[in-house]
Amino acid sequence: MDIISEIRNKAINAHKTIIFPESGDLRILRACAYLAEEKICNVAIVGRKEAVQRRASTEHIVLPDNITFHDPLNDPDIDDYIEHFYERRKKKGLSREQAELQIQHPLYYAASKVAANNVDGCVSGAVHTTGEVLKAAIQVIGLKKDSDVVSSIFLMSLPDGRVYSYGDCAVVPYPDYKQLAGIAIDSASTHHLLTGQDPAVAMLSFSTKGSAIHDNVKLVQDALHLAKQRKNDLLIDGELQFDAAIVPAIAQKKAPGSPVAGHANVFVFPNLDAGNISYKITERLAGAIATGPIIQGLARPMNDLSRGCSWQDVVNTAAVCSILAENEED
């Protein structure tokens, strides 16, 4: 069974409720219909039922009866959501009137339902930018206790069955060494949760084990040292060039004795340029399926989509979101 099928099956067993705030997008509605029909998750849609159904009918999409609809203007819990948001943001200058207006926005309303544990997770980003999705998530849900950075991975599924995680490819443009250490730790955890594989984390660079001297190399070295301090049972090594991280014969030459070199399955890129370019190269030239960005570091799951996503991508992201939600309760 391929990794996407495994993730969908895990999601079915998790029985989580995922909310979708972008009800005007037909890809979202088609995915919601499929998710509900296949019982991959319980589906909640932001919007008035009649209006959403009319929109779906323009493409002959039939929304099953087990889908629930949530309208911020008619939600009995809306005052609690407004109060929660106001208390979180009043020190930033937010007034109660501004909080009330903001929570009526579908993104912030959906995030509020996640924060209140009235739904288990949220999937958005088909219409909104990553920045907009993460702003709502950070302001309303916040970071988990042991995290100081919100980041992401892409789960890369190759045609031959190999599965890798690439982080960070979507969120933090130029992480400092503390953020990079956090990205490494969170990426390893997410990889294990989704794949069941023991993570072997490679901190990537243009240098391998001091073959080059540069401030950017030192940043990766410092991040590696901190990650080991924070989580001493993590299988991690660096700095490694990509060939040394993945090819055993090259690893023997460039990084002999490394516990990770030659068989890494989690790749931590030093910046967003490298990560974003690499995942797209792997997707387009190697035929990999890229699932993500999978957001990590939040107190509760709110996952992002690419605005170029297909409805199948939405289904896969909802399944991932369900598994992340299941883990939050463990």
Kindly report the CATH number that applies to the domain delimited by 151-285. 3.40.50.10750
- On the question of a common fold for 3-142+299-328 and 151-285, the answer reads yes
pLDDT tens figures, 186-229: 999 999 999 999 999 999 999 999 999 999 999 999 999 999 99
Is the pLDDT at 330 greater than 50? The verdict is no
Residue of 164, 194, 181, 132 lying closest to 322 (CA atoms): 194
Query: Which residue bears the tokens 């243009």?
Result: 206
- Residues 32, 14: Cα–Cα separation, whole Å: 17
End-to-end CA distance of the chain: 25
Is the pLDDT at 154 greater than 90? The verdict is yes
Helix axes 177-195, 215-230, angle to 10 degrees: 60
Instruction: Supply the pLDDT for residue 1.
Output: 54
Q: 267 φ, ψ to 5°?
A: -115, 120
Whether domain 3-142+299-328 has CATH 3.40.1190.20: the reply is no
DSSP for residue 318: H
Find the length of the chain: 330
Q: Which parts of 149-307 fold into alpha helices (H)? A: 177-195, 215-230, 242-246, 248-254, 272-285
Q: Are 202 and 260 in contact (CB under 8 A)?
A: yes
Entry pTM: 0.90
- In angstroms and rounded to an integer, the radius of gyration of the C-alpha atoms of the chain is 21
- Residues 17, 269: Cα–Cα separation, whole Å: 33
Contacts of 77 (CB under 8 A, 6+ apart): 113, 116, 118
pLDDT tens figures, 7-35: 999 999 999 999 999 999 999 999 999 99
Domain ranges of the chain: 3-142+299-328, 151-285
Query: Which residue bears the tokens 């009526």?
Result: 104
pLDDT tens figures, 59-100: 999 999 999 999 999 999 999 999 999 999 999 999 999 999
CA 250 distance to own-chain centroid:
32
> Of all residues in the chain, what percent carry a pLDDT higher than 90?
92
Peptide bond into 326 cis (omega under 30): no
Q: Are 195 and 3 in contact (CB under 8 A)?
A: yes
Longest CA–CA separation in the chain, Å = 65
- Residues 85, 140: Cα–Cα separation, whole Å: 6
Residue of 157, 162, 199 lying closest to 296 (CA atoms): 199
